[in-house]
Copies of this chain bind each other. A is one copy, B any other.
Amino acid sequence: MRKFLLLVALLAAVGAAGGAIAKPDVTHFTLPNGLEVVVIPDHRAPVVTHMIWYKVGAADETPGKSGLAHFLEHLMFKGTARNPADRFSLAVAAIGGQENAFTTSDYTGFFQRVPRDHLKEMMAFEADRITGLVLTDAVVRPELNVVLEEQNMRVANNPNSRLAEQMDAALYLNHPYGRPVIGWRSEIEKLDRDDALNFYRRFYTPNNAIVVVAGDVTAEEVKADAEDTYGKVEPRVDIAPRRRPREPQQEASRTVTLADARVEQPSMSRYYLAPSRTTAKPGESEALEVLAHILGSGANSRLYRSLVVEQKLALNAGAYYSGTALDYGKFDVYASPQPGKTLHDVEAAIDAVLTDVRENGVTADELALAKNRLIADAVYAQDNQVTLARWYGAALATGQTVEMVQRWPDNIRTVTADAIRAAARQWLDRRSSVTGYLVNSYQAAEKHS
């Protein structure tokens, strides 16, 4: 069955690994109608991953219409005049293919993984639905209930997700990244066919899309097929540069406390506002990547060693950096106290670890191990064709270039201990942070703090 996933968590994890790859022979070109195409040859098996990425996400929604980008992702499966109803999905299923779709703040993507001989067929289907979608109330209304049920399952009934939603809203004082990708429930409920069609007509056009093909193909084949299919779609609207409201100077640390009786294990995390790969100064996002690895990736990381192993304060502890975004990245540290320990205990211990790295930096051994590991992870991850295609797609849809993706391992190699300390000093700044507490009850939270 088709699954509609908000792949935010997955992509964040991919982002942490880095967009790091060796250099496959990637070809990148733009058709006359403005559609970008990226080809990543991978001849290990006779299959192909075909993705289309629209450069529109939740952060591009009109205020008050949150959830529209994700809702439209669902509605893109409702058929066109040429391929009504489920015909596209049935075709994918009939050839034993897989398909999926995902929405983030910055982009909306669709993909199929199919035998290589079916690539052009997939292209024809996708090209058709760039501008050919047909929406009637009969399909829009029931799908809204599907989305509401998804919100229910993923957010409303998940205290962790609810806290993350409220933390994002508190982290961004002005930028639309504070808006949940799935939308605020109260606003999702009011979306209708006109909203969806207006959004579709405004953002779905070949000059706002990137096609990524990874697999057992050559650039020449893909180019010919793309011209025959995608190349025939007329651009229907000009696309303005994506300029979202920026954050004002952040100058007050924040906390958010979510109490839910279902919480058995209290936990805390802190988000620091950080630059994204796209907005960072040269080397800065790579320094944050290595810093996150040293602080909080795995059992040898500083946070885990200090809080879990040595002090026995926490059940787990870690950190990661999410850098794949058009406007801002995020640096996250987190921990859950052991029974008998408080959130205050683990937070104080985290702060001690962070203060140490701000003041004294990292060691040469830590640095060398982290770099090797990050680069090796990225190399191993290339073994997955879908992952490979997603790196390029996510990078290009958030303002990076093919060259930036390919340079990443080299950039990681050149990160210095000084750069890491500088990044820690600049970006692990409490004034631009939100600390979230997940607790069973406010009373318990007070006892625990």
Task: Scan A240-281; emit 1 where CB is below 8 A from any B CB, else 0.
Answer: 000111111111111111110000000000000000000000
Interchain CB contact under 8 A, B64 and A248: no
Least distance between A273 CB and chain B CB atoms (Å): 13
Interchain CB contact under 8 A, B253 and A257: yes
Interface size on A, residues (CB 8 A): 38
Interchain CB contact under 8 A, B166 and A249: no
Task: Scan A425-449; emit 1 where CB is below 8 A from any B CB, else 0.
Answer: 0000011000010000010000000
A250 to B245, CA, bound (A): 23
With most chain B CB atoms within 10 A of its CB, the pick from A248, A253, A256, A431 is: A248
With most chain B CB atoms within 10 A of its CB, the pick from A249, A253, A430 is: A253
The residues of B that contact A246 with a CB separation of less than 8 Å are 64, 186-187
Protomer copies:
2
A66 to B174, CA, bound (A): 10
Taking the complex as formed, is A74 at the interface, i.e. its CB lies under 8 A from any CB of chain B? no
A430 to B179, CA, bound (A): 22
A3 to B166, CA, bound (A): 40
Taking the complex as formed, is A169 at the interface, i.e. its CB lies under 8 A from any CB of chain B? yes
Interchain CB contact under 8 A, A162 and B251: yes
Of all chain B residues, the one with the shortest Cβ separation from A431 is B259
DSSP majority for the A interface? mixed
With most chain B CB atoms within 10 A of its CB, the pick from A162, A176, A187, A252 is: A252
CB < 8 Å: which of B247, B250, B255, B442 contacts A255? B255
CB < 8 Å: which of B64, B162, B251 contacts A244? B64
**Given A63-B176, A244-B64, are A251 and B166 also a contact pair (CB < 8 Å)?**
yes
The residues of B that contact A259 with a CB separation of less than 8 Å are 431
**Given A63-B63, A178-B173, A430-B442, are A257 and B252 also a contact pair (CB < 8 Å)?**
yes
Interchain CB contact under 8 A, B254 and A258: no
22 contacting pairs across A/B (C-beta < 8 A): A63-B176, A64-B243, A64-B244, A64-B245, A162-B251, A166-B173, A166-B250, A169-B173, A170-B170, A170-B173, A174-B184, A174-B187, A184-B248, A185-B248, A187-B248, A251-B258, A252-B436, A253-B257, A254-B255, A254-B256, A254-B257, A255-B255
